[in-house]
Structure 1
Amino acid sequence: MSIALNYSLADLSKLKIHFIGVGGAGMSGIARIMLAKGFSISGSDKNDSPMLTSLKALGAKIEIGHDAKNLGDADLVIISSAIGEKNPELMAAKNKGVPIAARAIALAWLMSDSTSVAVAGTHGKTTTTAMLTVALQSAGMDPSFAIGGTINTAGTNAHSGSGSIFVAEADESDGSFLAYKPTGAIITNIELDHVDHFANEDEVFVVFEQFVDSIKPNGFLVACGDDDGVHNLLKRIKRKDLKIHLYGKGEKNDFRIDKIHLAPTTSTASISSTGRKIGELKLAVAGEHNVLNALAAFASASALGVAEEKVVAGLGTFTGTKRRFELKGEVSGIKVIDDYGHHPTELIVTLKAAKNLAQAGRVLVIFQPHRYSRTAAFANQFSQALSLADFTYLLEVYAASEKPLPGISSLLIAKNMSTQQVKFEPSMLQVVSDVVAMAKSGDVIITLGAGDVSSLGEPILQALASR
């Protein structure tokens, strides 16, 4: 659908660029950066959102709903991966012969003139990208960045910086991250996910191997040496010019953390590099997975030549991103958390952090599985992961762009869990009522999933306040 054009930033500045599906996290970020550079931008999306309001304020011409007339006299069209072939604007662009490019290609154009770091991995990409960005900002740099989530302190998911560094989240879900060709890369971990695109684990390793091959000559790779998937990938890498830096808890890593202490809302650890003690890492976010994410950001900043003490200090200022263990509020001693986790591994680390936060209280989960294909592939693993919670309400599967699969529903997860620990409840209104009736002071309610389950936080808080 997209083309292999190679526009320079100077070329792009002369074009009228139209985004189809501009409201998504990745698309809106690219549009935001282009607007900051003075480019002529228009776009459309199915529904209005605060993201679109922000783009309008920056000068973009935004239309709600898809219509061929929205294309106008655009010279270039950028499309979201969620856009179908029969979208009227896309069809109009094809009929007019307007060049069409995928989101990843557009981001690659923006990164082309920078010292770029692409952050990849099955889990932890968004947080690690945000941590590296905040650390670089704290060190006095002004990096450009494009992230699949909003940084709490910045209030945005993208920025066109004055510095020479560009930090980007690199999503492997459809293989499009091969377009970026970064100076350096981070790989947090590798395991099977996105089963709508990858038939098996080997296909995942193939695309990550291609991603490593796409790093520029004499570039660097920062990867988690504790991860089995990373070790599998390292055996496949044939390049000799890459500087490879491993990080983790194990003694064989170049960058190590030990003396880890996980408090309910904070984390601390000691950092060392090839046996040399660097200092104490003090994070304002919870969970061992976030300590590892911070170590990945530290190793990458070191590879870029940034002063170690400034990076450590900068990581300490990071307060999280939207939808990553985000505290929505607290009423009568009951905390309400929202998290994007939608893979069994993500649920495990998130629920461990939630248990630590709750201490003597209970963890009450509202989980919305994301995609029928993922539910079918990981139903048993979801059941096991959710057993960490004290009680789980299961919403029906959020389809995303998929059509229903026969026999696949959230009941597949529920049937392998104790009836004392789970309830299948497809009604969001009823879920809010049920969880509010169950919750007591000291409990943590967590909404989990990559779909619209995130919309339940405010209604839950309102219902708690009025009970």
Structure 2
Amino acid sequence: MVHIKDFKGKQIHMTGIAGSSMSGLAEMLVKQGYNVKGSDGAEGYMVEYLRKKGIPVKVGHFAENLDGVDLHIYTAAILPDNIERQTVAERGIPSLERKELLGQLMENYTHAACVCGTHGKTTTSGMLAQTLVDCGLDPTVHIGGMVDAIGGSTRVGSHELFVAEACEFNASFLTMSPTLAVIMNLEEDHLDYYRDINHIKETFAKFLNLLPDDGIAIGFGDDPKVVELLNGLKQRTYTFGFNENNHYYPQNIEYDELAHASFDIFKEGKKLGRLKLGVPGKIQIVDAIAAFAAADVLGADQKLAMESLSNFKGVHRRFELTGVYDGVEVYHDYGHNPQEMEQVLQTAHMRPHNRLWAVMQPHTYSRVKRLFNDYITCTEIADFTLVTDICAAREKDPGDIHSIMLVDAMQEKGINVTYAPTFDDAENYLKAHWEPGDIVVTLGCGDINKLNIQIEEHSKQNA
């Protein structure tokens, strides 16, 4: 059995190193004394970030990248026909898949808090990580987004507590050893792997069954599918949500002019205090309640936990303001499932604005096909929608789905939508039509954030 602990002092190469999880794992390995380098398919902000951290990254996948390598780490998005995976097989180089590595790094921690669900994992795990740090519990952390307050997406702390974002793609979270599981919600997604919602529920049930007898599960009590999973457990369970029947819930919710929520937080009918969030939108209330519940169960001081959550400023690539140009606020969000996109646009709509623009980069052909009807309505709250070409990610073009099909269907629904295949097309259209006071949100987990970057770069050049 290949194990990461046997490769200290040896050369590790990571294929797909700039991915949201892989980049964090690379940082964590370096912090723990491993020699790490990697490769990725294209230049980008994460490639530059890793280089600034002293981690060598080559752009492009080549056989020579494996010269002198003792251990190869890859992600499920890197298919078997990738030249680097083929070279590893030919040379007999030991290898680990990303999910196996994360599972190994989590071994032997006294407590492992794992946040799972279709939506909200990254923000909730980021909130939880920051809260536990601020409460002095010194967690080790690996999540799928950058949180400034903890120094990035990873943190090496004590060996008592590990906080991890538990991703369900490819059932990767089944390699973990949770003692505390937080379940945010259950919706259809990753249907290139899962058959349907029942298959998703079955896999989440397997994840929860990894809990030890004295483990704890905390779930979104307003989601019947989550409640059904909790009811099937013998371990202690708690719920959170808007309904007063939950163990943890908010009351007296108010929003300021920028859509930041203030609310009283209750536990089992007892008011614990009032919380004012520094991140906007209704969905953030759910994330904050979940993070508070998890921190509370882990023994954090309740008052300090509420103070920390009030100071939380968000995760990069989650409704992140990237710039203001011509009086237009431009945001980016990682949301790629239609429900996530809809929630993000609802948040944007709550803020003062003239007109709201959604710039959608559909993600993977299989997702677009299986969730087609959801895609064509998820931006209807926006005044204008731009749709770029589909981001293939790990998939090959099957030839039977295209963004133009989405645009045609959206137009039939009465949505004001324009096909903008490239980022240049999207930028040119936006700049020709936006007005002061507008809000633009780019949406997707592919490389749509590069549109925000090029808008900023071009604005500086023209200043």
TM-score normalized by the length of structure 2? 0.93
Q: Map 1:1-80 to 2 at 5 A.
A: 5=1, 7=3, 9=5, 11-13=6-8, 15-56=10-51, 58=53, 60-80=55-75
Classify 1:36/1:444 alpha carbon distance in 2 versus 1 (closer, same or farther; 3 Å). Answer: same
State the percentage of identical aligned residues.
34
Aligned amino acid, residue 298 of structure 2 = L
- Tell me the CA shift for residue 136 of structure 1: 1.1
Instruction: Determine if the alignment matches structure 1 residue 348 to structure 2 residue 376.
Output: no
Classify 1:398/1:141 alpha carbon distance in 2 versus 1 (closer, same or farther; 3 Å). Answer: same
Contact 2:2 2:94 in 1 (8 A): no
Aligned amino acid, residue 314 of structure 1 = S
Paired residue for 2:118?
Answer: 122
1:247 to 240, 248, 254: 240
Contact 1:35 1:58 in 2 (8 A): no
Instruction: Determine if the alignment matches structure 1 residue 362 to structure 2 residue 355.
Output: yes
Contact 2:219 2:227 in 1 (8 A): no
Instruction: Determine if the alignment matches structure 1 residue 266 to structure 2 residue 254.
Output: no
- Tell me the CA shift for residue 131 of structure 1: 0.6
In structure 2, stretches of 5+ residues that fail to align are none
Query: What are the superposed Cα offsets for residues 37-65 of structure 1, whole Å, 9 maximum, x if unpaired?
Result: 11232322233444344445555454333
- Tell me the CA shift for residue 28 of structure 1: 1.6
- Tell me the CA shift for residue 323 of structure 1: 1.0
Paired residue for 1:256?
Answer: 249
* Other structure's SS at 2:189 match: coil
Contact 1:298 1:311 in 2 (8 A): yes
Instruction: Determine if the alignment matches structure 1 residue 145 to structure 2 residue 141.
Output: yes
1:303 to 297, 304, 307: 297
Give the distance between the partners of 2:373 and 2:24, measured in 1 at CA.
36
- Tell me the CA shift for residue 14 of structure 1: 5.4
- Tell me the CA shift for residue 84 of structure 1: 1.9
In structure 1, stretches of 5+ residues that fail to align are none
Give the distance between the partners of 2:422 and 2:362, measured in 1 at CA.
14
Query: What are the superposed Cα offsets for residues 107-161 of structure 1, whole Å, 9 maximum, x if unpaired?
Result: 1111112221111000011111111011111112332111111114445211212
RMSD: 2.2
Aligned amino acid, residue 334 of structure 2 = Y
- Tell me the CA shift for residue 257 of structure 1: 1.0
Query: What are the superposed Cα offsets for residues 283-329 of structure 1, whole Å, 9 maximum, x if unpaired?
Result: 10001111100111100011111111111111111111111100011
* Other structure's SS at 2:311 match: coil
Give the distance between the partners of 1:84 and 1:93, measured in 2 at CA.
13
Classify 1:23/1:440 alpha carbon distance in 2 versus 1 (closer, same or farther; 3 Å). Answer: same
Give the distance between the partners of 1:41 and 1:463, measured in 2 at CA.
34
* Other structure's SS at 2:211 match: coil
2:380 to 382, 387, 395: 387
Query: What are the superposed Cα offsets for residues 163-198 of structure 1, whole Å, 9 maximum, x if unpaired?
Result: 621111111011011001111111100011011111
Classify 1:271/1:405 alpha carbon distance in 2 versus 1 (closer, same or farther; 3 Å). Answer: same
Aligned amino acid, residue 416 of structure 1 = A
Aligned amino acid, residue 319 of structure 1 = K
1:203 to 195, 199, 204: 199
Contact 1:141 1:163 in 2 (8 A): no
Give the distance between the partners of 2:396 and 2:429, measured in 1 at CA.
29
Paired residue for 1:177?
Answer: 173
Contact 2:22 2:75 in 1 (8 A): yes
Contact 1:6 1:109 in 2 (8 A): no
Classify 1:402/1:32 alpha carbon distance in 2 versus 1 (closer, same or farther; 3 Å). Answer: same
Contact 1:342 1:369 in 2 (8 A): yes
Contact 1:248 1:292 in 2 (8 A): yes
Contact 1:18 1:76 in 2 (8 A): yes
1:327 to 314, 321, 343: 321
Contact 1:134 1:317 in 2 (8 A): no
Classify 1:383/1:262 alpha carbon distance in 2 versus 1 (closer, same or farther; 3 Å). Answer: farther
Give the distance between the partners of 1:179 and 1:86, measured in 2 at CA.
24
1:431 to 426, 429, 432: 426
Classify 1:451/1:57 alpha carbon distance in 2 versus 1 (closer, same or farther; 3 Å). Answer: closer
Paired residue for 1:407?
Answer: 400
- Tell me the CA shift for residue 260 of structure 1: 1.6
* Other structure's SS at 2:299 match: coil
* Other structure's SS at 1:166 match: strand
Give the distance between the partners of 2:17 and 2:452, measured in 1 at CA.
25
1:293 to 278, 287, 292: 287
Classify 1:333/1:53 alpha carbon distance in 2 versus 1 (closer, same or farther; 3 Å). Answer: closer
- Tell me the CA shift for residue 230 of structure 1: 0.8
Give the distance between the partners of 1:344 and 1:50, measured in 2 at CA.
25
Aligned amino acid, residue 212 of structure 1 = L
Paired residue for 1:83?
Answer: 78
1:230 to 214, 217, 226: 226
Paired residue for 2:364?
Answer: 371
1:159 to 151, 155, 158: 155
Aligned amino acid, residue 19 of structure 2 = G
* Other structure's SS at 1:403 match: coil
Give the distance between the partners of 1:89 and 1:430, measured in 2 at CA.
34
* Other structure's SS at 1:116 match: strand
Give the distance between the partners of 2:182 and 2:271, measured in 1 at CA.
22
- Tell me the CA shift for residue 337 of structure 1: 0.7
Classify 1:420/1:29 alpha carbon distance in 2 versus 1 (closer, same or farther; 3 Å). Answer: closer
Query: What are the superposed Cα offsets for residues 327-383 of structure 1, whole Å, 9 maximum, x if unpaired?
Result: 011234311111111112112211111111134x21011111111111112222222
Aligned amino acid, residue 455 of structure 1 = K
Give the distance between the partners of 1:214 and 1:6, measured in 2 at CA.
22
Give the distance between the partners of 2:403 and 2:348, measured in 1 at CA.
22
1:110 to 83, 105, 108: 105
The answer to which of 153-162 and 327-336 deviates more is: 153-162
Classify 1:86/1:134 alpha carbon distance in 2 versus 1 (closer, same or farther; 3 Å). Answer: same
